[in-house]
Structure 1
Amino acid sequence: MNNSLLEVKNLNTLYGRSHILHDLSFCLDKGKSMSLMGRNGMGKTTTLKSILGIVSPRSGHVYFDGEDITKLPTWKRMRRDIAYVPEGRGMFHNLTVKEHLQMAARPSSNGDKSWDFDRVMATFPRLQERLSNLGTELSGGEQQMLAIGRALATNPRLMILDEATEGLAPLIREDIWNVIATIRESGISTLVVDKNIRALRKLCDHHVVVVKGKVHFSGSSEELAQNLQEVETALSV
């Protein structure tokens, strides 16, 4: 029985004449967590955009829960219960914290305990104190909490986080890692882009390292530990 939720198969994505992704392939199982690592400019964000339909690959396929979604527009992919936490957090300038969460809210489609407003508030108590503030008035860490809370409010089966802890203070980073662990424990599959190997080893079941648009390493946390020097070299600037 195929337990795959997301399968990326032989993706080739180009920007004009620039060939960014080269036969990129990986698979994320249901209820599991995967890291996607690589230096800046190696193709991580292009991989996410190809999965989400923001850019169209020249060839290859994206499957979600067994369905080929390669040709679907972005909004139809997201309606398959995919949530995206973008780099930069994507705050709306005219919406309060509460409105961000209300705007995104969607009932759960699989019968599990819903990520309703109260559950999001319990997960991010700091946001409770900021409900009437505009999203753009929050600190960087609070904005990331809101971006994750907004994604959770859609009750996704897959959550994709781009640069999950980029630019955050160490204590806030720990909070975000703990929240991502809680999300995974709730049964939501997660695809996490970040550079913190130590945190990702603890959090994720599988790891993919991309170098120049190709899979340089793919393996479990145990295999990552066994090849740590090689991976650290691939990630070093």
Structure 2
Amino acid sequence: MQNILEVHGLQTLYGESHILHGVSFDIKSGETVSIMGRNGMGKSTTLKSILGIAPPRSGSVIYKGEDITRLPTWKRMRRDIAYVPEGRGMFHNLTVKEHLQIAARKNSRGDANWTYDQVLEVFPRLTERLTNKGTQLSGGEQQMLAIGRALLTNPDLLILDEATEGLAPLIRKEIWQVIRQIKDSGVSTIIVDKNIKVLNELCEKHILIVKGKVMFQGDSRSLDDNKAFIEQSLAV
């Protein structure tokens, strides 16, 4: 299976603070991959380096065979990449309906596998909130809106930062069900989350980042074989 994303030797700094130390991994087309690690270990910086929000000092990002390392973020997103940030990125002056409508577009091939109606079918709770401002929603509803908005760009690669962090158990369960639907639809997905059990069931590949370095990379069987080390690395 062909790689959709290849990350090679990312070295990323914030000012004088050296955050990523040679992060490398790849994702195959249609693959669902987890990135795990304690807070402050470099997970979000890895995502932002892929997206160009935090450009790496060195290393490369290859997407669909193209070196996008020096492209601005908006050009990367136009190559069918969607991002659900940790803070969810709600616009205070837009309603739920407007958040979804402004995002809706066909992908670069002219396909629109995810439509406005389909997103509302997946997230029926949003139908009841269409006239509410995005910032008036609960945390769980905002996450639904952020994922729905990302899906409406019809991405080939979806990046979810802290997919279920801080959400109530029932909402988390609903979000995971939707992520499974996304996986079944064939969208390549990167998930940052702390729920090892669900990630182990859902993802084909797992990446553990500790102090800006990849300390583990493998499939779910390898994750089980290294469970003690993984759990120790994630412990506060």
The question of a shared fold, defined as TM-score above 0.5 by the shorter chain, is answered with: yes
**1:75-112 C-alpha deviation (Å, 9 max, x unpaired):** 00000000000001111000000000001111133465
Indicate the residue corresponding to 2:5 in structure 1: 6
Partner Cα distance (1:111, 1:94) in 2: 30
Partner of 1:231: 230
In the TM superposition, 1:80-229 aligns within 5 A as 80-110=79-109, 114-229=113-228
What corresponds to 2:72 in structure 1?
A: 73
> C-alpha displacement at 1:19, in angstroms?
1.1
CA drift of 1:114 comes to 1.7
SS at match of 2:121: helix
Q: Offset of 1:218 from its aligned partner?
A: 0.3
Deviations 1:100-129 (A, max 9, x none): 000111113346552111111111111111
Q: Distance in 2 between matches of 1:155 and 1:108?
A: 5
Unaligned runs of 5+ in 1: none
Which letter maps to 2:184?
Answer: E
Q: Residues 16 and 113 of structure 1: is their aligned pair in 2 closer, same or farther, counting only changes over 3 Å?
A: closer
Following the alignment from structure 2 to structure 1, what is the Cα–Cα distance between the partners of residues 2 and 135? 39
Partner of 2:15: 16
Amino acid at match of 1:123: V
Q: In structure 2, the residue corresponding to 1:87 is in which secondary structure?
A: coil
- Secondary structure of 1:177's counterpart equals helix
Does the 8 Å contact 1:93/1:136 carry over to 2? yes
Q: TM-score, normalised by structure 1?
A: 0.97
- State percent identity of aligned pairs: 67
SS at match of 2:12: strand
Give a deviation string over 1:31-56, Cα, whole Å, max 9, x none: 01000000011000110110000111
In structure 2, what is the Cα distance between the partners aligned to 1:64 and 1:211?
24
Amino acid at match of 1:124: F
* Alpha carbons 1:108, 1:114 under 8 Å: kept: no
Instruction: Say if 2:78 and 2:108, in contact at 8 Å, map to a contact too.
Output: no
Q: Distance in 1 between matches of 2:177 and 2:63?
A: 26
CA contact (8 A) 1:108 1:115 kept: no
What's the offset of the Cα at 1:15?
1.4
Deviations 1:10-66 (A, max 9, x none): 100111221111111000110010000000110001101100001111110001011
Question: CA separation in 2, counterparts of 1:27 and 1:212?
Answer: 19
Rounded to whole Å, the distance in 2 between the matches of 1:113 and 1:87 is: 26
Under a length normalisation based on structure 2, what TM-score does the superposition of the two structures give?
A: 0.98
CA-to-partner distance for each residue in 1:138-182, whole Å, 9 max, x for gaps?
111111000000000100000000000010001110111111110
Alignment-mate amino acid for residue 4 of structure 1:
N
Give the whole-Å Cα distance in 2 for the aligned partners of 1:111 and 1:84.
Answer: 20
Q: Which amino acid aligns with 1:20?
A: I
Unaligned runs of 5+ in 2: none
Write the distance in 2 (CA, Å) between the matches of 1:108 and 1:12.
31
1:171-204, CA deviations, whole angstroms, 9 ceiling, x for partnerless residues?
Answer: 1101111111100110100000011100100111
Q: Which residue of the partner structure matches residue 28 of structure 2?
A: 29
